[in-house]
Amino acid sequence: MQSQTSVLSLLNDYQPKDPEEQKARLFIQDFVQQQTAFWSRETLSGHLTASAWITDRDCRQAVLLHHRKLDMWVQPGGHIDASDPSLIDASRREAIEETGLDGLYPKHRDIFDLDVHAIPARKSEPEHWHLDIRFWWVADDLSLQINEESNDLAWLSAAEIRKRTDEESVLRMVRKTLRES
């Protein structure tokens, strides 16, 4: 996994325009400075996660999945593994695992979006924070393959996404990328 220094540099280079996203950046920076295992699931108060915002080449639709455990529509993403060389690599791995899309390429290699959200307690896991670092990926092949973590998986237009979720961080990514039909 990337060092604290390189992750902090990546965060410093990202300048969000949205006030909520700016708060998230400051929270994540502080967390990374204080936690040596900032990415590890074993850091029970919270940990960084890596998500993938995937659009088609024309920015007319994005991939969302209906998350089985959270019972909501979200972008692909998840926990960072010790074997992931970087955050962007973790994002790509999660995208492939959750969508089956292997032919992804990054729109750019910088952070695309940030979010901090609470994950409810479950079984042996206490409630904790996911400090989500998001990267923008573009897919040429639109063939999706659902996995066991999801109830549904689909390419959706901006209008279709708004029908499925009112989650502000997802809608913010829609506003940043998708063209209205």
- pLDDT string in tens for the chain (181-residue length): 788 999 999 999 999 999 999 999 999 999 999 999 999 999 889 999 999 999 999 999 999 999 888 889 999 999 999 999 999 999 999 999 999 998 999 999 999 999 999 888 888 888 999 999 999 999 998 999 988 888 889 999 999 999 999 999 999 999 999 998 6
Q: What pLDDT does 95 receive?
A: 96
Q: What pLDDT does 110 receive?
A: 96
- Both tokens assigned to 111: 């952070």
Using a 10 angstrom Cβ sphere, with 0-12 exposed, 13-18 middle and 19 or more buried, the burial of residue 74 is: buried
N- to C-terminal Cα separation, the chain? 40
Q: What pLDDT does 181 receive?
A: 65
Query: Running DSSP on this structure, what letter comes out for residue 162?
Result: H
Fold observed for domain 4-177 = Nucleoside Triphosphate Pyrophosphohydrolase (3.90.79)
Q: Phi and psi dihedrals of 29, rounded to 5?
A: -60, -45
Q: What pLDDT does 180 receive?
A: 83
Q: Is the pTM of this model over 0.75?
A: yes
Q: Is 28 helix (H, G, I), strand (E, B) or coil?
A: helix
- Both tokens assigned to 4: 């604290």
In the chain, what are the domain boundaries? 4-177
Which residues are bridge partners to 143 per DSSP? none
